[in-house]
Amino acid sequence: MDNNYQTQSGYLTIPEEIFLLSLYEKEGDTSLIHRKTFDLVLAGSILMDLAMRNCIDTDLEVLYPDRIEPTNDFVLDDVLMEIGTRGKNHQSVSYWLNRISLKADEFRDLIITSLLKKGILRIENKKIRWFSTALKYPVLGNAEVQEIRSRVREVVEHESGIPDIRDIVIISLVANSNLLELVFSKDELQKHTPRISQIGKMDLIGQAIAESLRESIVSNIKTRTRELLGLKDQSPEEKLEPLIEEIKMKFGIESDERLPEWLRKGTGQYLKTIDFVRSKGTANIVYNTYTGKYSVRNYSQHMHIFGSGQ
């Protein structure tokens, strides 16, 4: 199968297409791409690209590796190597979506680097740090973005046709994220909802993304509802649980005994972590093992999980 879409500037991977599609038309604003939910969409785009290359396969329940061969794309190869190592355990698509989404920041940078090399993006101000939401990424000529959006529109508006497989993949990703509003007006969205829903279902990975996003939204609604109703807030220990699970997934830690000290229950450092969570009211934190200091996490920070001795 042809796995890359050829634009005037060269071949784009599916993650690159989705990234470009998410850029606002006028200012190259990147605020959309830093929303947490977009991490899942990006993860889905990586899996879909690998599926199109027959590197992985999926069914209703599991994802499994097939051809573990280099793709010559850093993002795809990174994920493929991990699936090749751990995928034999036959985890679900949702599992891999969540796992891959943990590295979304890193993958975004790699995608940006690739697009810069392909001459599709440029940096306006070289003094501005990467990852910053203030950084603008103007699209050279905007041709590539318009090309992708035009293709999406054409497929959706041609209501009776069977789309190409790659178009199904792109539209399935777009349909299960916030990106549709960048392609269609509200009236058009309302008109084309049946067609978009039909195409969005055709890919099983797209369905898994939709399911993962729904779970994420439900979880956020539950948390917000508790706050609004004045229900007893979670304890710091309860708040830390998702972070612990995230670290375990990200680093392949299977036993709690192998967690870093600041997250390992029963240690003095863990108690300090609890105190910090209690003081800040959030477990969205990082711990710098070199300086011994805690801080509230933001997207521009790298997390120091293990000290030099671990």
Partner 1 sequence: MNILKNSVDETIVLDIEGRLDTTSYPQLEAYMGDLLKQGATKIVLNLSSLDYISSSGLRVILKTLKEIDQKGGALYLCGLNDHIMEIFEVSGFTELFQIYSTREEALNNIDS
Shortest CB 210 distance to partner 1, Å: 11
Q: Is 165 in the site for partner 1 (CB under 8 A)?
A: yes
Shortest CB 301 distance to partner 1, Å: 36
Contact window for partner 1 (CB under 8 A) among 38-46, 71-79, 163-171, 244-252? 163-171
Judged by CB under 8 A, the residue of 178, 193, 198, 288 near partner 1 is 198
Contact window for partner 1 (CB under 8 A) among 180-188, 199-207, 231-239, 271-279? 199-207
Shortest CB 128 distance to partner 1, Å: 41
Please tell me the distance from the alpha carbon of residue 142 to that of residue 198, in angstroms, as a whole number.
29
Site for partner 1 in 43-72 (CB under 8 A): 51, 54, 56-60, 66-67
Give the interface size with partner 1 as a residue count (CB under 8 A). 20
Shortest CB 205 distance to partner 1, Å: 7
CA angle 114, 118, 120 (to 5 degrees): 100
Amino acid making up residue 177: S
Show the site string, 67-106: x = touches partner 1 by CB under 8 A, - = not: x---------------------------------------
Contact window for partner 1 (CB under 8 A) among 34-42, 120-128, 201-209, 243-251? 201-209
Q: Which of 134, 103, 132, 106 is nearest to 27 (CA)?
A: 134
| Structure-derived torsion over alpha carbons of residues 291, 295, 298, 304, reported in degrees to the nearest 10 | 30
Shortest CB 19 distance to partner 1, Å: 23
Contact window for partner 1 (CB under 8 A) among 36-44, 135-143, 158-166, 263-271? 158-166
Shortest CB 153 distance to partner 1, Å: 19
**Of 104 and 168, which has the nearer Cβ to partner 1?**
168
Judged by CB under 8 A, the residue of 205, 213, 259, 283 near partner 1 is 205
Q: How far apart are the first and last CA of the chain?
A: 44
Shortest CB 64 distance to partner 1, Å: 9
Shortest CB 11 distance to partner 1, Å: 20
Judged by CB under 8 A, the residue of 162, 217, 218, 296 near partner 1 is 162
Site for partner 1 in 267-286 (CB under 8 A): none
Q: Which of 223, 224, 226, 180 is nearest to 200 (CA)?
A: 180
Q: Which of 212, 207, 203 is nearest to 49 (CA)?
A: 203
Residues contributing to the site for partner 1 (CB under 8 A): 51, 54, 56-60, 66-67, 162, 164-165, 168, 198, 201-205, 207
